[in-house]
Every structure is written in C-alpha cells, then in structure tokens.
Amino acid sequence: MRDATITLCLLSAVLTARGEFVMDRSVMSEKYWAVWNDEAQARIDADIEKYRKADAVVELEAPAGTVVKVEQLSHAFFFGAHIFNFNQLGKTEWNERYKELYGTLFNSATVAFYWRTLERYPYAPRFAEAYEDTEEYWNREYARDPVGPMHKAHWRRPAPDPVVGFCKTRGVRIHGHPLVWGNNAWHTPTWLWEDFCPADEKFALEQATGVKVPTRDWRLPMGVKDMARDRNERVWADAWSAIYAKLSEAEIAALVPSFVKAQNLFYEKRIREIAERYGSRVDSWDVVNESATDWANGARRTWPAGESAAVNTLPLTKSHYGVMPANYAYNGLVLARKHMKPDAWLNLNEYNMSAFPGQIKDLQAHGADFDVVGSQMHLFNPKESASIARGEFSDEARDKVTPEGIAMTMAEVAAASGGKPIHLSEITITAPDMTPQGQMVQAIIMRNCYRAWFAVREMNGITWWNVVDNCGAPGEPSISGLFTRDMKPKTAYYAMDDLINCEWKTHLEVKAKGEEEGRQVVAFRGFRGTYRLTWTDAAGATHTKLVDLK
C-alpha cells in the first residue's frame, strides 16, 4: 500500500506543479540521526497510524466488485499559518502566491487581532478595510521605498474584515489571535494609560515612588529591523518594576483608581465588541496569550486563599509587562466564555513550557473554562539550527526538537489539562543559512518535528508562524520562512507540502463487497477528514458520495 501511495503522490506532484521533496540526509550528522533513529521513526509512524487514522465502512448502491475511487478532499487536523501579510508583500503576483497557500497547503489561518493596532484610538477599532489596508496602498509604498513599508505601524496587522472574508471564500478555518495579552509593545494600546489615568493620579504615583512612567505612542515604528519599540518597552517595563519594588498591588491601585477601573472596563468592551462582530465567523481564539511567566513570578498570589477565583480581594496584578487587571488570565477566559458564541473554542496560548503545566492546573482548580491549550516552539537562532544539524542539542533544544523531548513536553501539557486538545500555535524553525544545505537542514528539522507532533494523541493542529522570509517581528530571524521574500518556495515548503498533501492524504481504489442483508459496502482506512467516493455503474454513469471520516 505504501508503494501505491508514493506513486499517487508523485503523480499528484507532477499534475499540480509541486516540486518533489527528496531528503538529503547527509546535511545532518550521524549524531542527529542517532537521535532521530529508525526505532524513533517507527514509533512515530505507529502513533500516527493509531491516532490520526480511522476505519470507514460506507454503504453504496453499487454491485459487489465495483471499483470505487476513494479521494481525501480535506483534513480534520488543522495545518495552519498566520496570515499577517495579507496583501502586504508589495507585488500583486507575490500576494496571489501567498493567498493561494490558504486552502491548498494551509486549512487554518491565524488572523491578527492585536489591540494596539486594531484600536489605535479609543472607541475606534479598525475592523473594516481602509485604503491603507489595500493591496494598492502597499504596492505603491513598496514602489516608493522597498524597506519603508515594513516600518509602518500596521505592517503585519491587516484589518480583520477582508482577511476573515477571504478565508471564508477559501473554506479556511479561522483562528483569532489574541484577545488578552499584557505585552505593552505589541498589544496593549498606549492610550489606555495615557488617556485614562488622570494627570493627578500619575502625579500621585510619581510622588509616592519617585518613578515616572514614560509616555508611549502607538506611532512608534513597528518595522522588522527597527528596535526602537523594544528599547521603549524595556524603559516601560523597568519603570513598573521600580514601582513594584516600592508598592503593593493595593497601594498602586489606591493611587490610580481611575486607571484600574478603566482597564477592566476596556478589556471587557474589547472582548464583547469582537465577539459581536466575529462570533459567528471565527472558529477559535487565543483568549489569553503568554501569561505563564506572570503566574510563575507570583501573579497567582492574587488568588484569595481557600476561595473561588471569582472572589477577588486584590485589585491588580504585578505583571512583568506592566500593571494588568487582577487574575487577568482567569478573568479573560471568563469574559470570553460570557461573550463568545457557545461553540467557539477558547485557547490558552503559551511559550513558557516550564511554567505552563502549573498554570493550567491552577486555572482549572479555580474553575477556569477553556477548550484548547496552545503550545509554541521557536528556533529563532540560525546558529542553534546549525548546532542541531551537528547533533549538538542544548537542554532547551532537546526538549523542543527530539522525539523524546517532544513526547515528554506534550505529555506534561496534556496531563496538566486533563487531556484537552493541544494546538501547536506558533512554530518557527530557522534555516542556518540560505545555501541549499542550509535550506535542507530547516526542511529536515521541520519534517521530523511535524511528524512527532502529528503523532501526539491530543494534538489537533500545527500552525507555522512566518510564511515568508524577512516578514517577522523585530528580533525574529529573516530566514525562517517557507518562501523567500519574493515568494519563491524554499526546500522546507516542498517538505511540508509532501507531508500534508501526500504522505498524510489518503487516495485509494477499493472494491465494493456484499454484506449481510444485501448491503453493498466499501471499507477502507484513512486519515481523518472529508472524502469523495466515485464509481461508475454498468450503464457508464458516474456516481459520487461524500463521507466524513472522524
């Protein structure tokens, strides 16, 4: 059966002009392959067979012996990527290649809902497309200056309406990211502090601590290579750290009561407005993003001892991002469940895998309600990828990109949540360099990790982060994409396409057979998803039947 599948895959590659992926094992050391050995690969194959496939018995009106073509049309598993560069690449042909990936390679798209750029001014969220969001605008800006557009405030932050509409036309699942995040560079709007903490309260805080919280501005550059925002973020965080050292949560809140009230009101307003506009169109949400570090640093102290989390005795959380609403992770989940449609999947998303299992247990112990746990994996440093190719794994890399490390990490997250689905929500794997060998290293690391993740029982989806080179956030590598900046496919693209559209897609020919009570059925085993069964009757007429294999 495997030989027949390979033949069909190669034929598919020719018919669709996809390049065939041929692995060059020599770019990885023997030490690397000793870790990713035949025994480990066999275990992964066995778990993929066990958890990702199912048996189907389908009744047909076809005589026994009729040959039935079984063709998988779509996956139940989510293979995604963010779609932050929608219409922003600078040339229509590049944008079209980018958009064509959604619905062919990716069946899920993560759509940007970052508060800072979505609502640059209070009470004025930019849900709808304006001229500055159009392809014409971005193409014009790139024609003027090939670098300048990447420094604009709304780079990688398209208005949601056209992106959501596009995904709907392509039958692509939509994942919103994020609703609640403490990050003051990427997410929290600057006007929340500047406009809704009165001058007298700011002065009182400064007098009590000797610390002045700096003025911040959403118009600070958001560009790929401009680190001004990061410097500003450090100044902001340093100011709050100094305040934390001098005052308790209650003392801070007593000095800035208007701000504390405004924070809570605006967080709920934001979630409610997004739910009202997108509740029937967006399938899942990263409700709370990257909050486990706060939990590990002591934010969990805001739980009242021996009481429900709904009973809050402290007014705010000393977040490492800057002051946040008390129990903001818990309360964000409560607000999302209150306002989102009942069948929306609520995700808790995190990169800090050492703290995350403890936070998951703590939130659930206090009654938090969420559906999916989101786990990130980033290899940002090209040197780290080169080290992995040599078989030299740091402790962190060993947990991220070895079969045993992946299995252990995912098992810990699954156990903490009681077996909730896991979404690999943000994946970055950087090439060591842009040589053919460097691209092959990226492709092999990606392929092995995807196979190991796909084999995890609780896994429901994997989302690649930056699809295109040099389109990441400040500090992220410029060569972590599946495509070059001018939308030429890299080796990792062919490797991913080979997995998703070939190795993990079932195409068979089987014969109908008779069953008890005169039924005619077709039986097959395949990857979970939607199938089209096609056969021809004795008169030459073609028949089809759609089947969902769950």
Of residues 477 and 256, the one with the higher pLDDT is: 256
The per-residue pLDDT of the chain, averaged, comes to 91
What's the burial of 158, exposed, middle or buried (CB within 10 Å: 0-12/13-18/19+)? buried
Tens of pLDDT along 151-206? 888 999 999 999 999 999 999 999 999 999 998 888 999 899 999 999 999 999 99
CATH number at residue 23: 2.60.40
Is the alpha carbon torsion for 46, 51, 52, 57 positive or negative? Answer: positive
- How much is the pLDDT for 147? 86
Residue 170 domain flag:
no
Residue 518 domain flag:
yes
Residue 17: pLDDT band (50, 70, 90) is very low
Of residues 482 and 183, the one with the higher pLDDT is: 482
The average pLDDT across 372-376 equals 97
Residue 313: pLDDT band (50, 70, 90) is low
- How much is the pLDDT for 217? 64
- How much is the pLDDT for 500? 98
Q: In one letter, which amino acid is 269?
A: K
Residue 6: pLDDT band (50, 70, 90) is very low
d(CA 32, CA 237): 40
Residue 2: pLDDT band (50, 70, 90) is very low
Instruction: Identify which of 423, 490, 502 has the alpha carbon closest to the alpha carbon of residue 463.
Output: 423
Q: In one letter, which amino acid is 131?
A: Y
Residue 231: pLDDT band (50, 70, 90) is low
Q: Which token pair is 506?
A: 């079932």
Least-confidence region, from 117-121, 212-216, 360-364, 406-410: 212-216
Cβ atoms of 535 and 68 closer than 8 Å: yes
Examine the pLDDT at 549 and tell me if it is beyond 60: yes
d(CA 149, CA 89): 9
Residue 8 domain flag:
yes
Q: Which token pair is 205?
A: 């805080």
> Where does residue 173 fall: left (phi above 0), alpha (psi -120 to 50 degrees), or beta otherwise?
beta
The average pLDDT across 135-155 equals 92
Residue 276: pLDDT band (50, 70, 90) is very high
Cβ atoms of 405 and 399 closer than 8 Å: yes
- How much is the pLDDT for 230? 57
Cβ atoms of 390 and 29 closer than 8 Å: yes
- How much is the pLDDT for 302? 55
What's the burial of 540, exposed, middle or buried (CB within 10 Å: 0-12/13-18/19+)? exposed
| Number of structural domains in the chain | 1
- How much is the pLDDT for 237? 82
SS3 527: strand
Residue 475: pLDDT band (50, 70, 90) is confident
- How much is the pLDDT for 203? 97
Of residues 307 and 46, the one with the higher pLDDT is: 46
Residue 64 domain flag:
yes
Least-confidence region, from 10-19, 123-132, 296-305, 412-421: 10-19
Percent of the chain with pLDDT over 90: 80
Q: Which residues contact 515 (CB under 8 A, 6 or more apart)?
A: 521
- How much is the pLDDT for 1? 36
Q: Which residue segment(s) compose the domain that 510 sits in?
A: 2-72+506-549
The average pLDDT across 363-392 equals 96
Examine the pLDDT at 304 and tell me if it is beyond 80: no
Residue 15 domain flag:
yes
- How much is the pLDDT for 13? 37
d(CA 170, CA 105): 12
Of residues 42 and 223, the one with the higher pLDDT is: 42
Residue 55: pLDDT band (50, 70, 90) is very high
Cβ atoms of 224 and 473 closer than 8 Å: yes
d(CA 319, CA 291): 9
Of residues 6 and 368, the one with the higher pLDDT is: 368
- How much is the pLDDT for 477? 87
- How much is the pLDDT for 220? 55
Residue 501 domain flag:
no
Residue 161 domain flag:
no
Examine the pLDDT at 131 and tell me if it is beyond 80: yes
- How much is the pLDDT for 311? 44
Tens of pLDDT along 64-101? 999 999 999 999 999 999 999 999 999 999 999 999 99
Q: What are phi and psi of 329, to 5 degrees?
A: -65, -50
Whole-angstrom CA distances from 385 to 186, 439, 484, 542 are 27, 11, 18, 51
Residue 479 domain flag:
no
- What does 95-147 look like in DSSP terms, one character per residue? HHHHHHTBTTTBSEEEEE--HHHH-SSTT----S--GGGSHHHHHHHHHH-SS
Q: Which residues contact 540 (CB under 8 A, 6 or more apart)?
A: none
- How much is the pLDDT for 299? 66
- How much is the pLDDT for 512? 94
Examine the pLDDT at 228 and tell me if it is beyond 50: no
Strand 53-60 vs strand 520-527: parallel, antiparallel, or unpaired?
Answer: antiparallel
Of residues 58 and 302, the one with the higher pLDDT is: 58
Segment (H or E) for 394:
none
Tens of pLDDT along 499-510? 999 999 999 999
Whole-angstrom CA distances from 462 to 51, 211, 300, 456, 543 are 15, 43, 29, 11, 35
Q: How many helices (H) and strands (E) does the chain have?
A: 20, 17
Residue 300: pLDDT band (50, 70, 90) is low
Tens of pLDDT along 447-458? 999 999 999 999
Examine the pLDDT at 281 and tell me if it is beyond 70: yes
- How much is the pLDDT for 235? 80
The average pLDDT across 109-117 equals 97
Least-confidence region, from 14-28, 124-138, 520-534: 14-28
Q: What are phi and psi of 402, to 5 degrees?
A: -120, 155
Segment (H or E) for 45:
helix 38-52
SS3 253: helix
Q: List the beta bridge partners of residue 524.
A: 56
- How much is the pLDDT for 222? 44
